């Protein structure tokens, strides 16, 4: 049943305008010739050019991409094991502690997570840098990965696994030939989610980073505090384009799979 | 298999993520609790007592006697912390209410759209979540500034003569929070609306209820779980928000995330920041436990 058309369409238009207008303005004004961010002075790509000569920004982008890729792999691995433990292992001692430790980081303010990680690294005498950021990111993103993979596991037909076992496949064989192919799409989306969350994180990175490991959000943040610049607009537009492209590819891939 | 026991393979599969979380989540939280009971000193690390393995058990017991609740007493006496909690709860509360007012109609409009277009529309509504949070907050600076897009547009339309001061106020913080967390609120509301059986609304209409009465008596109550889930998903992280008040707020915007950040990095008062974190955790975990209980009770009744 579709209800009255006009109010519905008007709501959709207003809602999506609110969601997308700020992003659209940011992208449009990244092509502004003027240094004044809110006054249009003609089309130009000069800010993109100056972006690529900003070596500090590029170095930070590299660090962020590396941290995100590595921490997302750890998060997907840990998240998969955690999802199996939650979905398939039944009751075990201290299960409620484990459940709490998986779900709490999803909502706990990042400042608390960052602060507690910094304290443990100081207490253990670990020098903060690249690997402490990886550990911090892998920790909070594994919880998101576990939720995504658990949802897929819950929807899987277990009779397929039982059939494989009945036909003589061992647990490893069953996992590799039956479970893994069914789980693969969830593993890919869990990795992507972990990658993007890591790439985006400012707070936990600020607490866990050390000298020489400034991530891209930390670099952007310190520049944004000084004011809006067209160069940041250009940087942001590139990041938005990359995420948009990734979303488009995954949407097309899932449509192909479904049909 | 004994109760609570696991086969060896499963035990090792559990030990890896459990061990990771114990090391990087549970132990750090325990440490925060411990440091909140320590005294602030000017040293590295800037708190006392600091436990070391070399102290031995006797040394640890000795140091445990040095525990003090000074940091907590300090929180109660420091008007900055009290004000931070109250204003964080107020800002997050107002933002959550406004977000529900924006998200509900949007979720309803999507849920009542052509089934063929629904999945595309909801994907579009959630897509901004995938883009950088920092960038989305940053985009609002250029809009809300005195010489920003909003003031330009309003003045060009002749609606105002002088620019409105929104940037660097609590209003800007609320707008930023509503905008950033909107996808979190739309999605659970949409999920609960989409599941509703249209036959219920038709039955209400057949029994003489107008569209408004049908909405109040059928649609809205049935979507309550989605509304509560969306509100909690947004409210809890919003209370501890740091980036939005820091970038969009003014110097008089006091929120607990920012206060703890400053105590940590600028004042280097780690015990105070730790005590602040523990109190905030207790404030926030309360509603989650309540919601969990409600959920399990609801499932038991069905």
ipTM of the complex: 0.87
A61 CB neighbour count, 10 Å cutoff:
20
SS3 B48: strand
User: What pLDDT score does B5 carry?
Assistant: 52
Tens of pLDDT, residue by residue over A214-246, are: 999 999 998 888 777 788 889 889 888 888 888
Long-range contacts of A176-183 (CB under 8 A, 24+ apart): A182/A152, A182/A156, A183/A80, A183/A149, A183/A152, A183/A153, A183/A156
As a whole number of angstroms, the distance between CA B153 and CA B142 comes to 13
Residue A14: closest CA among B182, B217, B27: B182
Count: domains in chain A = 1
User: What pLDDT score does A109 carry?
Assistant: 86
User: What pLDDT score does B78 carry?
Assistant: 78
| Residue B238 pLDDT exceeds 60 | yes
As a whole number of angstroms, the distance between CA A136 and CA A245 comes to 27
Q: What is the separation of C-alpha A104 from the centre of its chain, rounded to a whole number of angstroms? A: 17
What the block records as the tokens of B160 is 């105002």
Query: Is B117 within the bounds of a domain?
Result: yes
A230/B contact by beta carbon, under 8 A: no
Nearest residue of B to residue A79, measured between CA atoms: B17
Q: Which residues does chain A have within 8 Å of residue B289's beta carbon, measured at their own beta carbons?
A: none
Least reliable range by pLDDT among A83-87, A254-258, B50-54, B56-60: B50-54
As a whole number of angstroms, the distance between CA B108 and CA B275 comes to 42
| Residue A123 domain boundaries | 61-258
Tens of pLDDT, residue by residue over B116-152, are: 889 889 989 998 888 888 899 999 998 998 888 898 8
Tens of pLDDT, residue by residue over A128-182, are: 999 999 999 999 999 999 999 998 898 888 888 889 888 988 888 888 888 889 9
- Among partner residues A82, A109, A243, which is closest to B257 by beta-carbon distance? A109
Tens of pLDDT, residue by residue over B53-80, are: 566 666 666 666 666 777 777 777 778 8
Q: Is B108 within 8 Å of A11 when comparing Cβ atoms?
A: yes
Residue A188: closest CA among A249, A238, A258: A249
Alpha-carbon gap: A1 to the closest alpha carbon of chain B (Å): 7
Query: Is A25 within the bounds of a domain?
Result: no
User: What pLDDT score does B41 carry?
Assistant: 67
Alpha-carbon gap: A60 to the closest alpha carbon of chain B (Å): 15
Residue B3 banded pLDDT, cuts 50, 70, 90: very low
Query: Is A3 within the bounds of a domain?
Result: no
Judge residue B43's burial from the number of C-beta atoms within 10 Å of its C-beta, 0-12 exposed, 13-18 middle, 19 or more buried. Answer: exposed
Q: Is B139 within 8 Å of A136 when comparing Cβ atoms?
A: no
User: What pLDDT score does A258 carry?
Assistant: 66
DSSP B127: G
Count: domains in chain B = 1
Alpha-carbon gap: A112 to the closest alpha carbon of chain B (Å): 6
User: What pLDDT score does A32 carry?
Assistant: 85
User: What pLDDT score does B296 carry?
Assistant: 67
Q: Which CATH number covers residue B224? A: 1.10.3720.10
Q: Is A15 within 8 Å of B105 when comparing Cβ atoms?
A: yes
Query: Is B1 within the bounds of a domain?
Result: no
Query: Is A204 within the bounds of a domain?
Result: yes
Query: Is B274 within the bounds of a domain?
Result: yes
Query: Is A28 within the bounds of a domain?
Result: no
As a whole number of angstroms, the distance between CA A22 and CA B138 comes to 9
B230 CB neighbour count, 10 Å cutoff:
29
Q: How many Å from the N-terminal Cα to the C-terminal Cα in chain B? A: 31
| Residue B210 domain boundaries | 69-301
Residue A231: closest CA among A60, A7, A26, A23: A26
CA distance readout (Å), A250 to A10, A137, A185, B116, B193: 29, 23, 10, 19, 26
Q: Is A200 within 8 Å of B237 when comparing Cβ atoms?
A: no
Residue B108 banded pLDDT, cuts 50, 70, 90: very high
- Among partner residues B13, B22, B281, which is closest to A85 by beta-carbon distance? B13
SS3 B37: coil
Query: Is A111 within the bounds of a domain?
Result: yes
Q: Is B240 within 8 Å of A111 when comparing Cβ atoms?
A: yes
CB B253 within 8 A of CB B173: yes
Q: Which CATH number covers residue A112? A: 1.10.3720.10
User: What pLDDT score does A2 carry?
Assistant: 47
User: What pLDDT score does A89 carry?
Assistant: 83
Alpha-carbon gap: B301 to the closest alpha carbon of chain A (Å): 22
As a whole number of angstroms, the distance between CA A44 and CA A233 comes to 13
SS3 A43: strand
Helices B133-144, A5-28: crossing angle, 10 deg rounding: 90
Residue A238: closest CA among A56, A49, A70: A49
As a whole number of angstroms, the distance between CA B105 and CA B111 comes to 10
Give the count of Cβ contacts less than 8 A between chain A and B. 231
Residue A3 banded pLDDT, cuts 50, 70, 90: low
Residue A249 banded pLDDT, cuts 50, 70, 90: confident
Percent of chain A with pLDDT strictly greater than 70: 97
SS3 A201: coil
Q: Is B32 within 8 Å of A251 when comparing Cβ atoms?
A: no
Q: Tell me the residues of chain A between 140 and 199 that have a Cβ less than 8 Å away from chain B.
A: 142, 146, 171, 196, 199
| Residue A74 pLDDT exceeds 80 | yes
Q: What are phi and psi of B193, to 5 degrees?
A: -75, -35
Query: Is A7 within the bounds of a domain?
Result: no
């Amino acid at each position: 049943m579709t209800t009255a058309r006009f109010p519905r369409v008007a709501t959709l238009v207003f809602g999506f305008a609110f969601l997308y207008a700020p992003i659209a303005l940011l992208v449009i004004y990244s092509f502004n010739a003027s240094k004044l961010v809110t006054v249009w002075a003609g089309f130009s790509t000069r800010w993109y050019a100056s972006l690529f000569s900003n070596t500090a920004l590029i170095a930070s982008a590299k660090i962020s991409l590396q941290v995100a890729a590595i921490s997302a792999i750890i998060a997907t691995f840990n998240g998969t094991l955690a999802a199996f433990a939650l979905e398939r292992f039944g009751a075990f001692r201290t299960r409620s502690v484990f459940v709490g430790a998986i779900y709490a980081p999803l909502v706990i303010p990042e400042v608390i997570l960052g602060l507690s990680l910094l304290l443990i690294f100081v207490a253990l005498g670990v020098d903060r840098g690249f690997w402490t950021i990886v550990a911090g990111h892998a920790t909070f993103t594994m919880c998101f990965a576990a939720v995504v993979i658990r949802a897929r596991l819950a929807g899987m037909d277990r009779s397929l696994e039982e059939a494989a076992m009945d036909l003589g496949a061992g647990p490893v064989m069953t996992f590799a030939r039956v479970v893994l192919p069914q789980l693969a799409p969830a593993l890919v989306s869990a990795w992507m989610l972990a990658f993007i969350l890591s790439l985006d994180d400012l707070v936990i990175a600020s607490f866990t980073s050390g000298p020489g490991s400034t991530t891209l959000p930390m670099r952007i943040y310190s520049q944004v505090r000084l004011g809006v610049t067209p160069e940041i607009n250009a940087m942001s537009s590139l990041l938005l384009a990359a995420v948009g492209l990734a979303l488009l590819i995954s949407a097309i891939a899932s449509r192909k799979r479904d049909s | 298999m004994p109760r609570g026991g696991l086969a060896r393979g499963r035990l090792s599969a559990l030990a890896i993520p459990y061990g990771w979380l114990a090391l990087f989540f549970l132990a750090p939280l325990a440490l925060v609790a411990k440091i909140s009971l320590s005294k602030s000193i000017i040293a590295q690390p800037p708190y006392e007592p600091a436990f070391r393995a070399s102290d031995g058990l006797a040394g640890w017991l000795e140091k445990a006697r040095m525990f003090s609740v000074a940091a907590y007493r300090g929180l109660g006496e420091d008007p900055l912390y009290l004000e931070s909690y109250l204003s964080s709860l107020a800002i997050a509360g107002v933002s959550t209410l406004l977000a529900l007012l924006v998200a509900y109609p949007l979720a309803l409009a999507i849920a009542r759209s052509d089934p063929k277009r629904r999945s595309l529309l909801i994907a579009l509504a959630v897509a901004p979540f995938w883009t950088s949070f920092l960038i989305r907050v940053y985009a609002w600076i250029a809009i809300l500034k005195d010489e920003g897009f909003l003031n330009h547009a309003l003045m060009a339309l002749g609606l105002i003569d002088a620019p409105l001061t929104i940037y660097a106020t609590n209003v800007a913080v609320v707008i930023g929070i509503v905008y950033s967390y909107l996808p979190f609120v739309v999605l659970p509301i949409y999920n609960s609306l989409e599941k509703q059986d249209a036959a219920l609304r038709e039955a209400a209409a057949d029994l003489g209820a107008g569209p408004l009465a049908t909405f109040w008596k059928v649609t809205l109550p049935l979507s309550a779980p989605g509304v509560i889930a969306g509100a909690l998903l947004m409210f809890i992280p919003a209370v501890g928000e740091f980036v939005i008040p820091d970038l969009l707020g003014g110097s008089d915007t006091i929120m607990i995330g920012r206060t703890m950040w400053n105590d940590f990095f600028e004042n280097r008062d780690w015990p105070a920041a730790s005590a602040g974190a523990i109190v905030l955790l207790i404030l926030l975990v309360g509603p989650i436990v309540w919601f969990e209980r409600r959920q399990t009770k609801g499932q038991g009744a069905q």
